[in-house]
Amino acid sequence: MDKFDQQIISRLQSHSRESLSAIGRDIGLSRSAVAERIQRLEERGIIQGYTIRLGGAGQKAVQAYFQLSLSPFKLDELLPTLQTIPEIRMGHALSGEIDLILFAETDSMERLNQIRRQLEQLPDLKRLLTCPVLQSVTKE
């Protein structure tokens, strides 16, 4: 990945709908060269998708992280259950005291509590900590 690829990625991260012509003009490449580079970055898995950020109207009212400690920790056995909870937006298996961290966005605290009760039923769960998000801090 060279400096042009890095500049393209940086531009797409800040505004994924920016025109290829504008990106090319600003970084010194043609529109078609930018398009080819983006296609290669997608094929190599460096760019895996495009997303949008919603303003206040699209944001869920309650966001939280769940920290789970399990013994033994068998991620493959947990995935089918976790995938049935649509409010879980992201999860990471970790090394250390916490085995799994999940990020959820819900419409209400009541729904967040329902998800917590569902997670409490996971086999081999030793500890479950719920951390509601108070404020988002982003790099922009």
* Predicted confidence (pLDDT) per residue in 13-35, tens digit: 777 888 899 999 999 999 999 99
Q: Which residue has the higher pLDDT, 45 or 127?
A: 127
- Shortest CA distance to 20 belongs to which of 32, 2, 7, 3? 32
Tell me what pLDDT residue 36 has.
94
List pLDDT tens digits, range 36-69.
999 998 888 888 887 666 555 555 689 999 999 9
Residues 98 and 71 in one domain: yes
Residue 51 lies in a domain: no
Residues 78 and 128 in one domain: yes
**DSSP run (H or E) holding 40:** helix 31-43
Residue 82 lies in a domain: yes
Evaluate if pTM is beyond 0.85. Answer: no
pLDDT band at 89 (very low <50, low <70, confident <90, very high): very high
As a whole number of angstroms, the distance between CA 6 and CA 29 comes to: 13
Residue 49 lies in a domain: no
Residue 66 lies in a domain: yes
Residues 20 and 69 in one domain: no
Given a contact cutoff of 8 angstroms between Cβ atoms, the answer to whether 125 and 68 are in contact is yes
Residue 53 lies in a domain: no
CATH number of the domain at 74, please.
3.30.70.920
Number of structural domains the chain divides into: 2
Using CA atoms in the order 110, 84, 98, 136, what is the torsion angle rounded to 10 degrees?
-50
Residues 34 and 74 in one domain: no
- Cβ neighbors of 130 (< 8 A, separation 6 or more) are 64, 65, 66, 112, 116
Residues 117 and 81 in one domain: yes
Query: Which domain does 75 fall in, by range?
Result: 62-132
CATH number of the domain at 8, please.
1.10.10
As a whole number of angstroms, the distance between CA 136 and CA 140 comes to: 12
